[in-house]
C-alpha cells in the first residue's frame, strides 16, 4: 500500500527542516506514519493478508527505531513530533 506522490510531497514539505530536506528522521517518521495508517485500513478489510501484515509490522518497527533515535538526541523535537503526528498519549 503506497501513498500518492502528491500526498507524500506534501508530508515532506510539512515536516522538512529546510527546503531540500527529504531524509531527516522527522520526514521519515511522518511518511511511515501515513503508510502505516493506509495499511492499517487495508488490514481491517483483509484480515487474512499475512504478507501485508508482515510489511506493516516492519514499518511499525522501523518507525519505533527512528522515534527512539530522535528521543535520545533531542527530547523537545521528539515531543513536538509525536504531538504533531498524534502518536501516543
Give the model confidence (pLDDT) of 30-53 as tens digits: 999 999 999 999 999 999 999 999
CB-neighbour burial class of residue 61 (10 A; exposed 0-12, middle 13-18, buried 19+):
exposed
Identify the band that residue 89 occupies on the pLDDT scale cut at 50, 70 and 90. low
Q: Which long-range contacts (CB under 8 A, 24 or more apart) does 24-28 make?
A: 25/66, 25/69, 25/70, 26/70, 26/77, 26/81, 28/66
- The predicted model gives 51-57 an average pLDDT of 96
How far apart, in whole angstroms, are the C-alpha atoms of residue 18 and residue 43?
35
Domain-wise residue ranges, the chain: 5-85
Please give the CATH number for the structural domain made up of 5-85. 1.10.287.10
User: Against a cut of 0.75, is the pTM above it?
Assistant: yes
For cell 501484515, what's the residue? 53
Amino acid at each position: 500500500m503506497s501513498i500518492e506522490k502528491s500526498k507524500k510531497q506534501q508530508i515532506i514539505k510539512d515536516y522538512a527542516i529546510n527546503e531540500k530536506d527529504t531524509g531527516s528522521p522527522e520526514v521519515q517518521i511522518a511518511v511511515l506514519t501515513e503508510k502505516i495508517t493506509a495499511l492499517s485500513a487495508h488490514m481491517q478489510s483483509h484480515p487474512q493478508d499475512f504478507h501485508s501484515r508482515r510489511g506493516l509490522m516492519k514499518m511499525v518497527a522501523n518507525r519505533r527505531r527512528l522515534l527512539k533515535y530522535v528521543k535520545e538526541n533531542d527530547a523537545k523535537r521528539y515531543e513536538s513530533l509525536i504531538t504533531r503526528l498524534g502518536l501516543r498519549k
